[in-house]
Chains A and B, each alone.
Chain A
Amino acid sequence: MSKTLLKNGRLICPSEKLDMLGHIIIEGNHIASVGTQLPDNADFDTVIDCNGCVIMPGAIDMRVQSADPGAEHLESLSDLLAAAGNAGITQLVSLPATSPVIDSAVMIDSLKLRASSYKGALFHLYGAMTQSLDNKHMAELGMMAKAGVVGFANSLESVSNSLLMRRIMTYSKMLDKPIIHHCSDPYLSKDTDMNESETAIRLGLIGEPSIAETIILERDLNLVSLTGCRYHAAHISTASSIEALRLAKRKGLPVTADTSPAYFLLNDKATADYNTSFRLNPPLRDEADRLAIIDAIADGTIDAIASDHHPIEMDRKMLPFGQAACGAAGVETLLPLAFSLFHTHSISLTKIVNALSVAPAKTLCLPIPKLAIGTKANITIVKLSSSSVIRGSDFMSQSQITPFEHYLIDSKVAGCFVNGISVTS
């Protein structure tokens, strides 16, 4: 059985309330020791000096759109999992908007089978809430639950029919699975190009008001109190949505939320020269929204940080802004961008680690990642104070369009173990 020593790191484990300098010993696929006493190097197959690094329970990226099946040429599933592992992500959850849509047990079986033979991050799936994501007919949620989905999600269009949404929530509650909903009012968001703002007016682009997100979120929160369904608001981007979530949590509703780095590091002014790598859904919001998202991460109103990874063909980005597709790569920048909250906004490392590992696991009822003896050795190592610049062309994946091109980051992933095996190159 191989033995690996991770020494001199800062061990941060929210669920064990751990923040100390120490070491970890991995034996086989489990954690064999967590401590401060440095053992003799001679006993190990591999010794990694983690001086200046955070050693954390393995990161879980709970919002990834795989291009496979349907657009494997953009990024195959094996490439995605390898790139994610190399970027410090030990588990990821893929959204159902593939081609064909993931709306049946047989799709789930086949994808899970394929993924099990790939190296890198572990693979989980959301099933589609509706058949072919048509937002009209409930999909076979029960069959998909048996096949092992971790929750049910929609595409980038909300279920606008409140009765259907109520029924999906009621049914999901019966199955004890969460609903992961992208919130946008179909009428207020139809044909829009970016956030409604002075920038949009100047560019002659059609703006979506930020409340387009909140209107659907508030409706959903009312349905949560009616049905008792576990509900997760996906990629929250606005201050008004934060207010709604705060209120819902205060009432004790079973509600969680995530956001992604674009919404706490960028604002809609970034689009001022029609650069389509900033065309995202939800759109980049204004500065007040951005700051509200950071506050919400700090106070726990937003539980998780996810990449919102979405491979897009270059051809669909090399278009006038309003005609370009929404989305960008995210898995390979998630960790350094999340840790920039520590460097630039003084959010504690424990909070960031929690948002990247424990919170997604809780929402999705996965085993809580922890640095504890006897648990699976899923571990991410992040080197703090290591300045570099993000370049899409440096990515391992073919999916290289990022709104963070040339963005300065202060940390980098220095190692990643999935079930005891190193998945970084």
Chain B
Amino acid sequence: MLSKKHLLGIEGMPIPEINDLLDRADYFANRPKQSFPDILSNTTVLNMFFENSTRTRVSFEIAAKRLGASVLNISVNGSSVKKGETLIDTATTLNAMRPDILVARHHASGAPLLLSQHVDAAVINAGDGRHEHPTQALLDALTIKRSLGRIAGLKIAICGDINNSRVARSNLYLLSALGAEVRLVSPATLVSPYFAEMGVPIYTDMEQGIAGCEIVMMLRLQTERMEGREAPSQHEYFHLFGLDTHKLQKAAPDALIMHPGPMNRGVEIDSKIADDNSKSLIRTQVELGVATRMACLEAVAGAKL
């Protein structure tokens, strides 16, 4: 059960609710072959993706189906939005079809909140602009917890394009709330000093930033940003901020690597590291996405009733 009807972000979420979600996700993760068709029977889940996404959408779809929900996917890119319909018009139209849960991804920060103000369904934010991506942060936390047994006290470096990353924000809130020591590592052009005002240490030197960290979380960087905009070139970016074996030596001895995907191999992360299953948690993150989203769908359905 959640205290709020919608799951729009991690910021401000009570810690017991976060832990409940993680425990429930852990329960589902331990039963990967099992379906729970009673949990969301008679429930309609609408996936509204205003921005392209494969992994998140599929992950939500599988999660909903394993809970017995009817799922509808709407890729809004090619639909009435192109004909000038506003977000609220689209929401009102879909609302008339009485879905129970709306899973929304949008390129504009705050769009799921706006949607939630105009529909009866419970809204789950599947990523909005630069704002939040709460289910990603929850699945990342679950991944860490299942791999290392705890989150409190861990040193975790979030590295890459912080300014434009909703994953960075949600993870920052969640991992800090659960007692991890989070650091941000980024070129100065991609991390606003206002993050420091939020009490997070910022490092512009990758080796110093990841020194002693048990978890190194890499973020995706859009390639066009590395063509003389925020960074001079991909070549320089990889040299200074790409994760390679050499830099990784500065991290804790058994440091684990994460990435929300999709990866730019050879730009932000060396393939050798990404594909090394003894170090990389990237595949586990994808696997645990389903269990995490099952827990989230169940929780908002419960809060709604």
Contact = CB atoms under 8 A, between A and B. Distances in A.
Interface of A: 193, 196-198, 200-207, 273-274, 315, 318-323
Contacts of B131: 203-205
B93 to A, nearest CB: 14
Interface string B83-109: 000111000000000000000001011
Given A202-B11, A204-B129, A321 B197 contact: no
Nearest to B114: A320
Given A203-B131, A204-B132, A322 B197 contact: no
B110 A320 contact: yes
A321 B109 contact: yes
Interface in B122-151: 128-132
6 interchain residue pairs of minimum CB distance: A204-B131, A320-B108, A204-B130, A204-B109, A274-B110, A320-B111
B305 interface: no
- Size class of the B contact interface (CB-based, 8 Å): 20 to 34
A274 B163 CA distance: 18
A203 B194 contact: no
Given A200-B194, A204-B109, A320-B109, A274 B86 contact: no
A296 to B, nearest CB: 25
A198 B194 contact: yes
A203 B11 CA distance: 10
Given A198-B197, A201-B192, A203-B131, A320 B11 contact: no
B88 A204 contact: no
Interface of B: 11, 86-88, 106, 108-111, 113-114, 128-132, 163, 166, 169, 192, 194-195, 197-198
Contacts of A207: 192
B129 to A, nearest CB: 5
A319 B117 CA distance: 12
Given A198-B194, A202-B11, A322 B129 contact: yes
A202 B131 CA distance: 7
A323 B194 contact: no
A201 B113 contact: no
Contacts of B195: 201
B198 A201 contact: yes
B26 to A, nearest CB: 29
B232 to A, nearest CB: 18
Nearest to B11: A202
Contact of B166 (A197, A204, A318, A320): A204
12 contacts: A201-B194, A201-B198, A205-B130, A206-B130, A274-B110, A319-B86, A319-B87, A319-B114, A320-B108, A320-B110, A321-B109, A321-B110
Given A197-B194, A202-B198, A321-B108, 14 more contacts: A196-B192, A198-B194, A198-B198, A201-B194, A202-B169, A204-B109, A204-B166, A207-B192, A273-B113, A320-B87, A320-B110, A320-B111, A321-B109, A322-B129
B67 to A, nearest CB: 29
A204 B197 contact: no
A206 B11 CA distance: 18
Contacts of A196: 192, 194
B109 A322 contact: yes
